[in-house]
A and B are shown apart, each in its own frame.
Chain A
Amino acid sequence: MSIELANAIDMRGIEKSFGSNPVLKNVDFSVKVGEVHALAGENGAGKSTLMKILQGVYGKDAGTIQVAGKDVEITDTFAARKAGVGMVFQEFSLIPTLTVAQNIFLTNEPTKYGLISDSKAKVMAAELFEEMQVSVDPSATVEHLPTALWQLTEIAKALAQNAKVLIMDEPTASLAKHEAEALFALIERLKAKGIAIVYISHRMDEVYRIADRITVLRDGVRVLTESLKDLTPVQIVEAIVGRKAAAHLEHLDRSDKITNEVVLEVDNLSSGTKLNGVSFSVKKGEILGLAGLMGSGRTELVNTIFGVTKADTGTIKINGIVTNISSPREAIKNRIALIPEDRRSQGLVLDHPVTENLTLPILDSLKSNGLLSNKKILAKSQEIIDLFAVKAAQPSIRVGSLSGGNQQKVVIGKWLATDPSLLMMDEPTAGVDIGTKSEILDLVRAIADSGKSVILISSELPELLAVSDRVIVLKDGRVLKTLNRNEIPTEEFLQLEIQGAN
């Protein structure tokens, strides 16, 4: 019989409701010393509530929490930190104008003769980074560092507070591939030191790569806790989405839905250093995928077509007519819509109700007697909410309080209400749970089936391949290749094209 490793954290029978709405029902969750434990579930399944209870952001209604075998009452974030729970925030908690060392020891500054000693902090930070086996300059100002190093600083900050448990929420979301690799190597080293890690991610390959066990929550109930060795991806997806099938990634042939009518024709479009003469066209009813590495010019291309960025040279023809688009307003007038990359900072006014966000671009059609009509606004919003199955308690609720997937549905709904003939979507499924992802992909197909054209950017190739009728590969602001869907046999093939290796 092998010796059972001790539990770093042990949460038992956790219950939590907001108002009359239970979000966690009798949930058990434990992480062993030196274990990476993945926590999965759709947005709204209760993952973040469970973690916020562990960090002391929310109080629990019932249940017990043990840290390192001892009962603890985590009443606030200070108590959590004292107990040894550290968080690597998805939206970083660093102060950009301070140095790395100053951030790591913020509120906990080493002193000399009663005064704060930056030089001591620098030495201590350097030791920490050495232990982590990463190279970060402790005296660099945070705002001048690339995001990957922000994250390492976050981790160092948690370790400096003697964290025994680290919670990482989508830690690779803003990292390039080699940076993610470096993070995984660091996680391995932290494991070896006996640090327990809760790893929250929607990316299945990462979970398999790094985690030992997985716990899946669905609708506030724990449905699965198992060693990853004993699970197939299909089993995990089924646990996450329930009985919903994962068939959304299958490509459906839509060639009969595509007409010969060219909606958009871009010729030799250049802008700054990011776009260097791009030419392509989109037909009515077609879904065009844009593939390429970070910085290949995908986002810049759609932003230039939408008039956010100015074009230096080149022409854009809409329905065969040369059109000069220098602002989003003109793009909207020409029935073009863009769902931007970052819905929180570019797509929504988070502090405003769902209704106001949904109706912002179509206010002209919601007037009676020259004034905006609340009745019409509410009716139109409800119509969009029903159509896209947005889960919002009331249309008047703040859009910022919805889950990521539902926020994205609000952005999509808002643009479809303008009845565009060309819809451009920049990473529409980023940070969205699997269930909503498949809904969004179905939606993309339905939009194109209704005679609209779609330009889709996605870094997740299975998704891109599932819906695209044609794929353009961009590199250094140029079109490297145009491929019909049937010319792409596998995901690996497209990956090689993107890397420019074929």
Chain B
Amino acid sequence: MTKSPFAPAFDLLKRFEWQKNIIYIGFVAVFVLFAITLGDSGFTQPNNLLNIFRQVATISIMAVAMTFVIAAAEIDLSIGSVAGLASVVTAMTLNSFGLIPGILAGLLVGAVAGAISGGLVAWLKVPSFLVTLGMLGLVVGVARWITASAPVPIQDMNYVAIFGGGDFGPIPGLLVWAILIVAAGAVVMNKTKFGRHVRATGGNLVAAGYTGVNTAKVKFMVLLMSGVFAAFAGMLYAGRLQSGRFQWGTGDELSVIAAVILGGTSLFGGRGQVIGSLFGALFVGLINNGLILAGLDVSQQQVVRGAIIILAVALSRKK
């Protein structure tokens, strides 16, 4: 066999893992495309770019936890409604008992919802799809019930400043939170025993068990984590929008799952890429923003966004 001088480059191309990396290519391609076609509409303005980050911050945070959930071959459909309930519980507690109890109450909502789902999945072996689908409805019902479906305004400006309403120096607070959480998530996934155990559990439950991984605990932990992160995202919604409302976060589970799959995490478990999920979320945000700047109305945006997500997910599944 003759060796062409390009052989090493070809080998590199062959070994390139499409499923893992297509999100980065897609992100850059769409970014360049919008920069060229929508440059005049202000796409590349720093303010617009910061806006995109602001909008995807909550999705990114939930996507970090969802990456762990999906890598463990489970799913959490309840995150959007957990975010909504956490936003109203935080707002109500904040108004009656002050800043610290408000924060703790919000996080507690996520911990309780996550622990219930996680416990049912881990020890009673109920499929997470069913448990969290039920939890979705249950949590939304509670949020509407305790607020009589009305928004709860937040007057505590310290809370607003910390949770998403304010800036830390020149950088929007939301962005800081998202970056911190994504970075921590990436380290936990790649550099700790827990992350490795999550992927082993999702990759082969039986083999992981035989190897001494406490697979029930892993499943419990990822769903607990997902609940807490969803609550935190809901608290950021509350801060940014200066109110708690059951609708905050509604439907986010779909964007979050799309972001995670786009980012190269396998829907069948065993593989999880936290940084990929961030770029998946950014990709979705980029498209939303571009479509608005391109002057599409809301219904047209929905159509185009749906089509692009299907296409992108299909491409990212290519082996």
Q: B-facing mask of A332-372, CB < 8 A → 1, else 0?
A: 10000010100001111111100010001101100000011
Report yes or no: A349 in contact with B212, Cβ–Cβ below 8 A.
no
Report yes or no: B204 in contact with A360, Cβ–Cβ below 8 A.
no
Give complex CA distance A93, B82 in Å. Answer: 42
The size of the chain A interface, using a CB distance under 8 A, is 29
The size of the chain B interface, using a CB distance under 8 A, is 27
Report yes or no: A352 in contact with B191, Cβ–Cβ below 8 A.
no
Report yes or no: A352 in contact with B193, Cβ–Cβ below 8 A.
no
Give complex CA distance A48, B228 in Å. Answer: 49
Report yes or no: A328 in contact with B193, Cβ–Cβ below 8 A.
no
Report yes or no: A361 in contact with B211, Cβ–Cβ below 8 A.
yes
Residue of B nearest to A360 (CB): B211
Give the segment of B195-203, B247-255, B287-295 that binds chain A.
B195-203
Residues in B with CB closer than 8 Å to A340 are 207, 210
Residues in A with CB closer than 8 Å to B199 are 349, 352, 356
Report yes or no: A19 in contact with B210, Cβ–Cβ below 8 A.
no
- Within 175-206 of B, Cβ neighbours of A (below 8 Å) are at 187, 190-193, 196, 199-200, 203-204, 206
Residues in B with CB closer than 8 Å to A350 are 203-204
Give the distance to chain A from B252, nearest Cβ to Cβ, in Å.
29
* Most chain A CB atoms below 10 A, which of B191, B211, B271: B211
Interface residue B1 (Cβ < 8 Å from any Cβ of A):
yes
Give the distance to chain B from A413, nearest Cβ to Cβ, in Å.
13
Report yes or no: B206 in contact with A351, Cβ–Cβ below 8 A.
no
Choice from A22, A338, A356 contacting B210 with Cβ under 8 Å:
A338
Give complex CA distance A364, B214 in Å. Answer: 15
Residues in A with CB closer than 8 Å to B209 are 308, 328
Choice from A306, A331, A349, A372 contacting B203 with Cβ under 8 Å:
A349
Residues in B with CB closer than 8 Å to A371 are 187, 191-192
Residues in A with CB closer than 8 Å to B203 are 349-352
Interface residue A174 (Cβ < 8 Å from any Cβ of B):
no
Give the distance to chain A from B70, nearest Cβ to Cβ, in Å.
14
Give the distance to chain B from A70, nearest Cβ to Cβ, in Å.
31
Interface residue A244 (Cβ < 8 Å from any Cβ of B):
no
Report yes or no: A349 in contact with B1, Cβ–Cβ below 8 A.
no
Give complex CA distance A328, B206 in Å. Answer: 11
Interface residue A502 (Cβ < 8 Å from any Cβ of B):
no
Residues in A with CB closer than 8 Å to B191 are 371-372
Give complex CA distance A346, B199 in Å. Answer: 15
Report yes or no: B271 in contact with A349, Cβ–Cβ below 8 A.
no
Report yes or no: B207 in contact with A345, Cβ–Cβ below 8 A.
yes
Interface residue A329 (Cβ < 8 Å from any Cβ of B):
yes
Residue of B nearest to A18 (CB): B14
Choice from A19, A306, A360, A364 contacting B200 with Cβ under 8 Å:
A360
Report yes or no: B196 in contact with A372, Cβ–Cβ below 8 A.
yes
Give complex CA distance A161, B67 in Å. Answer: 44
Q: B-facing mask of A18-61, CB < 8 A → 1, else 0?
A: 01101000000000000000000000000000000000000000
Interface residue B213 (Cβ < 8 Å from any Cβ of A):
yes
Interface residue A484 (Cβ < 8 Å from any Cβ of B):
no
Give complex CA distance A356, B266 in Å. Answer: 17
Report yes or no: A328 in contact with B196, Cβ–Cβ below 8 A.
no
Report yes or no: A360 in contact with B213, Cβ–Cβ below 8 A.
yes
- CB-CB under 8 A for A352 and B200, given A347-B207, A371-B192: yes
Give complex CA distance A327, B14 in Å. Answer: 43
Give complex CA distance A364, B200 in Å. Answer: 15
Interface residue B270 (Cβ < 8 Å from any Cβ of A):
yes
Give the distance to chain B from A498, nearest Cβ to Cβ, in Å.
27
- In the A-B complex, the 7 residue pairs with the closest CB atoms: A349-B203, A371-B191, A332-B212, A349-B204, A363-B193, A329-B212, A372-B191
Other A-B pairs, 8, CB within 8 Å; known A360-B213, A371-B187: A327-B214, A328-B209, A338-B210, A340-B210, A349-B204, A352-B200, A356-B200, A363-B196
The interface of chain B, by Cβ under 8 A from chain A, is 1, 3, 7, 11, 14, 187, 190-193, 196, 199-200, 203-204, 206-214, 266, 270-271
12 CB contacts below 8 A, A to B, read A20-B7, A22-B1, A340-B207, A340-B210, A350-B204, A351-B266, A356-B199, A360-B196, A360-B211, A363-B193, A371-B187, A372-B193
